[in-house]
Amino acid sequence: MSESTKSNHTSFLEYKGKYRGILGWILSTDHKRIGLLYLYTMLVFFSVAAILGLLMKIQLIAPGHTIMGPATYNAMFTMHGIIMIFIIVVPGLPAVFGNFFLPLMIGAKDVAFPKLNLASWWIYVIGILIVLTSQFLGDGPPDTGWTFYAPYSFQTPANIVPALVGAFVLGFSSILTGINFVVTIHRLRTPGMTWFKMPLFPWTLYATAWIQILATPVIGITLLLTVMERTLGVGIFDPALGGDPILYQHLFWIYSHPAVYIMILPGLGVISEIIPVFSRKRIFGYKAIVLSSLAIAFVGYFVWGHHMFTSGMSGRALFAFSFLTFLVAIPSAVKVFNWVATMYKGSLIFQTPFFWAVSFIFVFMIGGFSGLTLGSLATNVHLHDTHFVVAHFHFIVFGGTGFSFLAAIHYWFPKMFGRMFDASWANIGWVVFFAGFLTLYLPMFSLGIMGMPRRYYDYLPEFHAANILSSLGAMLMIAGAMIIIVNLVRSARYGKKTNEKNPWGGKTLEWQADTPPTLENWEEIPEVTEKPYEY
Amino acid sequence: MSQEKSHISSYQSHVFVLLALLALTAISVAVTTLELGRLDTLVAMLIAATKAAIVLVWFMHLKFDNKLYAIFTVLVLVVFLLVLYVTFFDYSYR
Ligand SMILES: [Cu+2]
């Protein structure tokens, strides 16, 4: 915007705008720099929350007090959840890759409101800082879990209010990004790019953006009501004052189930980009993928009750929510079918992004099927609040969003940094991470079926063997994550330079821009005549 | 973008919106003296919804803008009402 183009072929990493040094980044309205700001912020907090997770797994390697007691453990899973959910996976792919690649993929110079975009990042940072104060001020870190369930969240002496307010502020960042993307997609598509010529990642961003806009206010209001309940005792959720704690759960999950689709939908978009490129084949069922994204976004609003099957809802509501949950599995399965059909008889190219994409499908399927196990009323009664839920959740959110994030960063890395990552280390990292992931989470399924509850620092001796396996898996996975992160950070600084516009042979627009892209992406606005993925 | 003409509202219409909102506020206060029992909430919500509609349609220009905005607003309202319906579906059978 105000930082107008001075010379045409300077990459966005190097150009000099109004500000120098770090100010040139944290005050830049360039969508690509903002995307990287999010990436770096997330990298820092992901590392923190992953270490918390590792410490919890070390605690669980043996029954009883291993390295921490119950209070510390409660604080740790709460902070792990709050950081991972509200700071990493909810902004996740849209904030990083949406910001960076949405304008490139639809042939725009930037998002529709670049200043608002920068403001979103600042609000995000402010929200993080508020959340962090909950650790150091007042009467000890929060211990409610990331769900802040009533009535405990206003009875615990711990320091809940900053965490609630921080999550509330983070929500604004999410809403503003959503508004920005909806307007960008409606108004800034390049000439010739009709709705059904738009690549699939922007499509999923579009569906996601609507959920961000419509669902996030609900959690905002709910968190504020909880703050009011705690500080003023207004009596909305507190049964002692005539309130209804189940109403809290309704309101919380009206946001937090669609939030799962905020996390996963852009991931599905990334996989839909990578599979056709590395199969050298047109995507199978483009329209089915588009429509299933919209269907997931829509139906996903009405399934939240499956988190509350044992909370005391009415029987008819239980039945309705279970039915709707089964319904939402269909569009997800449509996508999996389309990806497999795309690969069928394609000329597969075995490189790192493809490995991540295929392993994504694998873990996403396990996560999805275990979701149906939890979605049926009878099995849910047995499995509710056990380690089965933890396993399912991590297969979907870490296996889904995490794997697609890693797929995306390896796929777009050369475009983002103008350098190539070291492919052999990337592949070693993938193998170690994937093996660690399965070793960590698969035993949790059987632990849950055996009856080990979640959110306890201790367990009965019969759960010991599977817990050892799971904790060793956690260490292996962290080792894999370290290989991947070190390799990417090193490659971003010292990797082999490349100016090649299209290293993977992709057909979408971002591969026609310079590598790395210039400040406003295009010297000439590209025109689109073909559908994407025409091989 | 420049080829779209935008509607410019007069001061009168803004004043009209203001007066309508003030009048409805007065009505919603007055209504509380009627002791309608269970209908109290319903009446209050209806008046509030009317106020919101006035703001959306005239003050925020839905009436004069591209039809697309009106369509999206209605869709959002439908989602909202469905969410309400599903929530109270639970309460009504408890
Ligand atoms: Cu859910």
Q: Is A302's CB within 8 Å of B86's CB?
A: yes
Interface test with A, best of B71, B79, B90, B91 (most A CBs within 10 A): B90
Q: Is B83's CB within 8 Å of A301's CB?
A: yes
What string of H, E and C letters represents the secondary structure of A68-122?
CCHHHHHHHHHHHHHHHHHHHHCCHHHHHHHHHHHHHHCCCCCCCCHHHHHHHHH
Q: Which among A246, A254, A313 has CB closest to B83?
A: A254
Q: Residue B12: pLDDT above 90?
A: no
Q: Residue A222: pLDDT above 70?
A: yes
Q: Which among B79, B91, B93 has CB closest to A315?
A: B93
ipTM of model: 0.83
Q: How far apart are CA A27 and CA A117, in angstroms?
A: 11
Q: Residue A378: pLDDT above 80?
A: yes
pLDDT band at residue A5 using 50, 70 and 90 as cut-offs? very low
The predicted pLDDT at position A3 comes to: 42
Chain B residue with Cα closest to A183: B69
Instruction: Please count the residue pairs, one from chain A and one from chain B, whose beta carbons lie less than 8 angstroms apart.
Output: 36
How many angstroms is it from A125 CA to the middle of ligand 1? 27
The residue that leads in pLDDT, A20 or A220, is A220
Using alpha carbons, select from A94, A116, A111, A91 the residue that is nearest to residue A31. A111
Q: How far apart are CA A471 and CA A463, in angstroms?
A: 12
**pLDDT > 70: what percent of chain A?**
99
Q: Where are the domains of chain A?
A: 28-512
Alpha-carbon torsion (A96, A98, A101, A103), positive or negative: negative
Task: Domain A28-512: give its CATH code.
Answer: 1.20.210.10
Q: Residue A535: pLDDT above 90?
A: no
Encoded tokens for B23? 């009048």
> Running DSSP on this structure, what letter comes out for residue A402?
I
Q: How far apart are CA A321 and CA A18, in angstroms?
A: 54
- Integer-rounded Cα Rg, in Å, for chain A is 23
Q: Residue A193: pLDDT above 80?
A: yes
pLDDT band at residue A1 using 50, 70 and 90 as cut-offs? very low
Q: Residue A2: pLDDT above 80?
A: no
pLDDT band at residue B39 using 50, 70 and 90 as cut-offs? confident
Regarding beta strands A419-420 and A496-497, do their DSSP bridges make them parallel or antiparallel, or are they unpaired?
A: antiparallel
- Please, are residues A33 and A49 in contact by the beta-carbon 8 Å criterion? no
**DSSP secondary structure string, B15-81?**
HHHHHHHHHHHHHHHHHGGG--TTHHHHHHHHHHHHHHHHIIIIIT-TTTS-HHHHHHHHHHHHHHH
Q: At what angle do helices A423-450 and A352-375 cross, to 10 degrees?
A: 10
List all residues of chain A from 202 to 241 with a beta carbon under 8 Å from chain B: 214
- Please, are residues A41 and A442 in contact by the beta-carbon 8 Å criterion? no
How many angstroms is it from A76 CA to the middle of ligand 1? 23
The whole-chain average pLDDT of chain B stands at: 86
How many angstroms is it from A355 CA to the middle of ligand 1? 28
Q: Is A214's CB within 8 Å of B79's CB?
A: yes
The whole-chain average pLDDT of chain A stands at: 93
Residues of A in contact with B90 (CB under 8 A): 246, 250, 305, 313-314, 316-317
List all residues of chain A from 435 to 494 with a beta carbon under 8 Å from chain B: none
- Please, are residues A488 and A421 in contact by the beta-carbon 8 Å criterion? yes
